[in-house]
């Protein structure tokens, strides 16, 4: 009969448990709120706020640094632009000055060239006015030729007058090439004439004024007396080719023992000497064709000996008739169609100082 009494007890227990659960559910949030500990959502929100703040600060710092870098680059670009503008301005000024200097130098060169070329006819006319000496002058007792000595004296006087009238050499390097060469040539002729005057004023016992034209080694040749007599007669007759050869020989014999090693200038002098030598030889009417080139070997040997002492790298070679035409070393100056040389007109001059042959002047020849 006690069993029915148990039902209210069980119902009471269930009700109590339900009430306890409700009370616990209400009491837990209150405890969490009262304890002050953040929830996961609150922690996430705090982290997001912190990261946002850090990102904003980094962005502001980067913006500040970028602005500073931009200002620095702009300042550098402005400075480089100003420097470049100044450089361009200086280059333009330099170009203008160089252009003006070039124009002035060209005008000066033209004026000097015109002055020198205007004097050339005067020089030739003065030489042509030298009176002819007797056709067959007799040697005097002391071994000198009176007619030749008188002709040489007149040549010397003419050269001295012309050298005094010519413009003085500038101590600075002249800009135009042609006037400089002509002035130097006049100076060389003047020096040679002065040397000849000294030689004629004090002749040695073994020679005469006629010997002053010829290198010492040439005077020992067997046929030297005939060459000397022929040149003396041509000079006495006022032949232009003889006067040019005498001028070249005087310049060669009057060279100082110590001189600067200007190979190209000496090569030009040797080329002119050889051309004058051949021109005089071919102008001799009373000399057989086989004997015309007889003095070439002797004078060439003297010139080569001088070159080996002062210009070791300079090679000088003579061309002889019937040699095969070689356009690498020879320059044909006529319209002949033969493949061999008829007449040489100058020497071959080459420079081998660098180990390789560099032709400075090809030998002029005729083939007709």
pLDDT of residue 245: 92
| CA neighbor of 347 nearest in space, from 358, 331, 333 | 331
Spans of the chain, pLDDT less than 50? 1-7, 25, 28-34, 128-144, 166, 168-178, 200-206
In tens, the pLDDT along 116-140 reads: 666 655 555 555 444 443 344 444 4
Contact (CB, 8 A) for 247 and 231? no
SS3 331: strand
SS3 361: strand
Regarding pTM above 0.85, the answer is no
DSSP one-letter code for 324: B
Would the CA dihedral through 234, 235, 238, 242 be positive or negative? Answer: positive
| CA neighbor of 191 nearest in space, from 221, 169, 216, 223 | 169
* Angle at alpha carbon of residue 303, lines to 158 and 314, rounded to 5°: 120
Would the CA dihedral through 40, 41, 44, 45 be positive or negative? Answer: negative
CA distance 300 to 356: 23
The residues spanned by each domain of the chain are: 68-101, 146-166+177-366
SS3 64: helix
State residue 360 phi and psi, 5-degree precision. -90, -40
β-pair partners for 139: none
Burial class (CB in 10 A: 0-12, 13-18, 19+), 137: middle
| CA neighbor of 116 nearest in space, from 205, 182, 204, 50 | 182
pLDDT of residue 148: 52
| Angle of the 263-282 helix axis to the 240-253 helix axis, nearest 10 | 140
CA distance 316 to 306: 11
State residue 339 phi and psi, 5-degree precision. -100, 15
pLDDT of residue 136: 40
pLDDT of residue 223: 86
Which helix (DSSP H) or strand (DSSP E) does residue 256 occupy? Answer: none
CA distance 363 to 228: 26
pLDDT of residue 143: 43
CA distance 96 to 44: 76
pLDDT of residue 287: 77
Of all residues in the chain, what percent are helix, strand and coil, respectively (each to 5)?
Answer: 65, 5, 30
| CA neighbor of 196 nearest in space, from 187, 184, 208 | 208
CA distance 256 to 219: 20
SS3 171: coil
Which helix (DSSP H) or strand (DSSP E) does residue 279 occupy? Answer: helix 263-282
Q: How many helices (H) and strands (E) does the chain have?
A: 8, 6
CA distance 58 to 52: 10
pLDDT of residue 202: 46
Q: Which residues, other chains included, contact 67 with Cβ-Cβ below 8 Å and sequence gap of 6+?
A: none
* Angle at alpha carbon of residue 120, lines to 163 and 191, rounded to 5°: 30
CA distance 254 to 263: 18
Residues in the chain: 368
């Amino acid at each position: 009969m006690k069993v029915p009494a148990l039902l209210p007890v069980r119902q009471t227990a269930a009700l109590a448990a339900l009430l306890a659960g409700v009370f616990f559910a209400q009491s837990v949030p209150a405890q969490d709120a009262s304890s002050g500990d953040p929830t996961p959502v609150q922690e996430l929100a705090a982290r997001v706020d912190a990261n946002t703040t850090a990102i904003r600060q980094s962005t502001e710092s980067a913006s500040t640094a970028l602005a500073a870098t931009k200002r620095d680059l702009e300042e550098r670009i402005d400075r480089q632009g100003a420097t470049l503008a100044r450089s361009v301005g200086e280059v333009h000024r330099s170009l203008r000055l160089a252009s003006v200097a070039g124009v002035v130098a060209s005008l000066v060169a033209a004026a000097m060239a015109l002055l020198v070329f205007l004097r050339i006819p005067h020089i030739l006319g003065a030489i042509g006015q030298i009176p002819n000496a007797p056709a067959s002058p007799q040697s005097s007792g002391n071994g000198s030729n009176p007619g030749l000595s008188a002709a040489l004296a007149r040549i010397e006087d003419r050269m001295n007058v012309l050298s005094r009238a010519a413009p003085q050499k500038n101590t600075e390097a002249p800009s135009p090439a042609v006037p400089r060469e002509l002035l130097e040539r006049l100076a060389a002729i003047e020096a040679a004439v002065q040397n000849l005057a000294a030689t004629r004023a004090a002749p040695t016992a073994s020679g005469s004024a006629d010997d002053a034209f010829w290198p010492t080694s040439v005077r020992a040749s067997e046929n030297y007396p005939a060459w000397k007599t022929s040149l003396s007669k041509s000079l006495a007759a006022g032949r232009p080719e003889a006067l040019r050869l005498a001028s070249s020989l005087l310049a060669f014999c009057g060279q100082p023992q110590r001189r600067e090693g200007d190979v190209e200038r000496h090569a030009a002098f040797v080329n002119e000497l050889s051309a004058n030598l051949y021109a005089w030889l071919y102008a001799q009417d009373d000399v057989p064709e086989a004997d015309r080139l007889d003095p070439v070997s002797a004078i060439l040997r003297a010139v080569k000996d001088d070159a080996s002492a002062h210009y070791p790298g300079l090679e000088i070679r003579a061309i002889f008739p019937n040699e095969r035409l070689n356009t690498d070393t020879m320059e044909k100056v006529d319209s002949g169609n033969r493949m061999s040389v008829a007449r040489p007109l100058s020497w071959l001059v080459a420079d081998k100082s660098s180990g390789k042959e560099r032709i400075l002047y090809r030998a002029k020849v005729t083939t007709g």
